[in-house]
Structure 1
Amino acid sequence: MKQLVRMFTAVFLVAFVLIYVTFQLNSTEGYSSGNTLSIYNWGDYIDPDLLKQFEQESGIKVIYQTFDSNEAMMTKIAQGGTTFDVAVPSEYAISKMKEENLLLPIDHSKLSNLKYINPRFLNLSFDKENQYSVPYFWGTVGIVYNPKLLGGKEITSWNDLWDGDLRNQILLVDGAREVIGMGLNSLHYSLNDTDEAHLQEAKNKLNALTPNVKAIVGDEIKMLLAGEEAAVGVVWSGDASEIMSENDELDYVIPEEGSNLWFDNMVIPKTAKNIEGAHEFINFMLDPEHAAQNAEYVGYSTPNEKALEYLPEEIAGDKRFYPDPSVTDKLEVYDNLGKRMLAHYNELFLEFKMYKN
């Protein structure tokens, strides 16, 4: 028994020493439990230099964690075991988090830089008056293609992908909303359609596409397209920009039938411990020069109108990634379809993948 007590005492002492050392190290750097900020974001979705700059200017230590899907992010926040002060969900996830009371309202009076956001990216359907979220990045879903590998052929629409000459030449992102939405849009239906007849029609049309589909893949789609392992890919615009920076033979197009206009916004989860720091960080990221630096690093489109003045013209003036309102007004934001319908989309996508195999 004495041996057991001694063992527990030793473990306690080691734990105490580790906690004390950590506290002392943080204190020497000017950090304490009251001035840390926990950020939850997508992988490789911020310039690390900006995090360092924020720490230096604010005296707040950043604890940075990443997620790979909105669903994983929402589950972790809902569980509440780990607290986050700032998170970066997508539009339909923001709608769902509002419904589930997972967000705190944002105090606009603490965001002096909010005025730099282009008004067309504010007051959208998923968060009217931006009560709970502030724009971070935006973009589209479209088609990257290699004219050289296609013998000079140009792609302008979803329906071009069903061309028999593209056999085994197409890579698709591994996303249910993107692929089912592509099928719906190709039939001139909404990518938020819940009509069962339309959904089945879209799936049947997608089944007819399978001879042209080389693979359904994740992040490796960027490497495969840049390396000319396939001639065509359905991707998000930011990925397209990265792919094209590796291979200037490629081009990107927003299909004429329509597509997804997506947004990733900054929010303050309900479990936040440093609400003041969260507002300070959000305002820091809304600074035009910081927003421009972040956009150049990440490759996605900034909603910060003033930031465009700090970006190279070849970026800010590229209509493929900064299309005019005449184009974006025809695109659709993903609606929160609810658990049942979202599960149905996933089922249809799984059936398509099984049919492909």
Structure 2
Amino acid sequence: MKRLLYAAIAVLIVAGLLALGANHFEKEQSAATGKAGSSTKVLNIYNWGAYIDPNLIAKFEKQTGYKVNYDTFDSNEAMLTKIQQGGTSYDITVPSEYTVQKMKQLGLLHKLDLNKIPTLKYYDKNFLNLAFDPHNQYSVPYFWGTLGITYNDKYVKPEQIQTWNDLWKPEFRDSIMLTDDARDVFGFALISLNKSVNTTNNGDLMAAKGKLDALAPNIKAIAADEIKMYMAQDQAPLAVGYSGDASEMIAENSHLHYVIPKDGTNLWFDNLVIPKNAKHLKAAYAFINFINEPKNAAQNAEYIGYSTPNAAAKKLLPKAITAQTNFYPTDEMMKKFQVYTNLSQAKTEEYNDLYLEFKMVHR
């Protein structure tokens, strides 16, 4: 996830929708401990901002009788820290693939009983039993997508931006909005050098850092969710970001187009997991099955703009969406995609330190 439009505004919208008739989260937590006067039929979700259709939460509550408490985070690291602290008990959270690995290693996840998730039958088998969680012992996919380049055809021609190396062209001086994420920024730099996005080789990382420093004159800004607003308002010619964000921007500005570079990219997965200290397991399983019912999954995918791993839901989406290979890539294209793996703490710090040095060069 790793990434989403006007997160602060969206959080307020979702919170407002869910607050009708609801008690404060801490009161619901008291309900879990059996205090009088509160319902125990609750579900506590911790998700990326604006990463679900609010109407589906209302539908789940009406259909099941559970009251949903919905909190949001803006990075895997922020989510992981809060789960580790353990002060708040969540029943569902949504880590990206490499964070699933890390949470498994730290003993923070409930091992799933797949017999309680019959909706797994709707999934595309290509998105199950992946390397970061063999046999889906701890996670099931929620959405997937790619890192790519969004360009504005008022300023950029399609033939100008076909590979990651095209970003370094001198004609793109002061033109690129760059997503603020160490793995993603080093990821595309490493791909441009024909290196693995998971390299632990110091020489590879230093080469990528040097190449990123050379990109600094072309960078207009390093930002997060604001990128979507700037691009939608024609304030930048190019942006490096996520496929779902691009979908949202394109819906607002027909001059925008999303490109997956021909030299490959990062393929990422956000996943539904149940934290080890979850107090409402029945509710958690009920939600996982609800959100994976094909009609619900299709509604959610159309609302969010990211790609669904749910094959039955994909069939319900408009052909105009699923026929776009920049959002639903072909198998041939995906042969060049790379999935992030969890790095050691020391190597993660090395990536982050080099990234901070790069940002200082840009500034």
> Residues 151 and 136 (structure 1 numbering): CA distance in 2 closer, same or farther, change over 3 Å?
closer
- Tell me the SS of whatever aligns to 2:231: helix
How far apart are the structure 2 equivalents of 1:215 and 1:247?
20
1:184 aligns with: 190
1:151-187 Cα shifts (integer Å, max 9, x gaps)? 5643110001111111111110001001111111100
1:188-239 Cα shifts (integer Å, max 9, x gaps)? 1011111111111111111111111111111100011111211111001100
2:311 aligns with: 305
State the Cα distance separating 1:38 from its structure 2 match: 0.5
1:86 aligns with: 92
1:14 aligns with: none
Tell me if 1:103 matches 2:109.
yes
Q: 1:255 aligns with which of 261, 265, 285?
A: 261
2:295 aligns with: 289
How far apart are the structure 2 equivalents of 1:151 and 1:139?
24
State the Cα distance separating 1:329 from its structure 2 match: 2.7
> Residues 139 and 151 (structure 1 numbering): CA distance in 2 closer, same or farther, change over 3 Å?
closer
How far apart are the structure 1 equivalents of 2:131 and 2:89?
27
Q: State, as a whole percentage, how many aligned pairs show the same letter.
A: 53
1:174 aligns with: 180
- The 8 Å contact of residues 241 and 299 in structure 1, kept in 2 or not, is answered as yes
State the Cα distance separating 1:140 from its structure 2 match: 0.2
Deviant stretches of 4+, over 4 Å: none
- Count of aligned pairs between the two proteins: 332
Q: 2:329 aligns with which of 314, 323, 334?
A: 323
- Tell me the SS of whatever aligns to 2:220: strand
1:34-75 Cα shifts (integer Å, max 9, x gaps)? 311101100000011111111111111111111111111111
How far apart are the structure 2 equivalents of 1:32 and 1:238?
38
2:200 aligns with: 194
1:15 aligns with: none
1:268-295 Cα shifts (integer Å, max 9, x gaps)? 0001001111111001011010000000
Q: 2:65 aligns with which of 56, 59, 75?
A: 59
How far apart are the structure 2 equivalents of 1:216 and 1:181?
15
2:156 aligns with: 150
How far apart are the structure 2 equivalents of 1:127 and 1:152?
37
How far apart are the structure 2 equivalents of 1:251 and 1:152?
9
Tell me if 1:127 matches 2:133.
yes
Q: 1:114 aligns with which of 120, 127, 131?
A: 120
1:84-142 Cα shifts (integer Å, max 9, x gaps)? 01111110110000000000011111111111111111111110000000110000000
1:300-332 Cα shifts (integer Å, max 9, x gaps)? 111000101211111122111011122123211
State the Cα distance separating 1:338 from its structure 2 match: 1.6
Please tell me the residue identity of whatever aligns with 1:55. Answer: E
Please tell me the residue identity of whatever aligns with 2:255. Answer: E
Tell me if 1:227 matches 2:233.
yes
> Structure 1 stretches of 5 or more lacking a match?
1-17
Tell me if 1:239 matches 2:276.
no
How far apart are the structure 2 equivalents of 1:229 and 1:59?
46
Please report the RMSD computed on the Cα atoms of aligned residues, expressed in angstroms: 1.6
Please tell me the residue identity of whatever aligns with 2:87. Answer: G
How far apart are the structure 2 equivalents of 1:138 and 1:167?
31
1:36 aligns with: 42
- Tell me the SS of whatever aligns to 2:107: coil
How far apart are the structure 2 equivalents of 1:118 and 1:238?
19
- Tell me the SS of whatever aligns to 2:262: coil
Q: 1:349 aligns with which of 348, 355, 363?
A: 355
Tell me whether 258-267 or 328-337 shows the greater mean CA deviation.
328-337
Please tell me the residue identity of whatever aligns with 2:129. Answer: N
- Tell me the SS of whatever aligns to 1:103: coil
Please tell me the residue identity of whatever aligns with 1:258. Answer: G
- The 8 Å contact of residues 147 and 153 in structure 1, kept in 2 or not, is answered as no
TM-score (norm 1): 0.90
1:69 aligns with: 75
How far apart are the structure 2 equivalents of 1:133 and 1:123?
10
How far apart are the structure 2 equivalents of 1:329 and 1:280?
35
> Residues 341 and 152 (structure 1 numbering): CA distance in 2 closer, same or farther, change over 3 Å?
closer
Please tell me the residue identity of whatever aligns with 2:183. Answer: R
1:270 aligns with: 276
1:8 aligns with: none
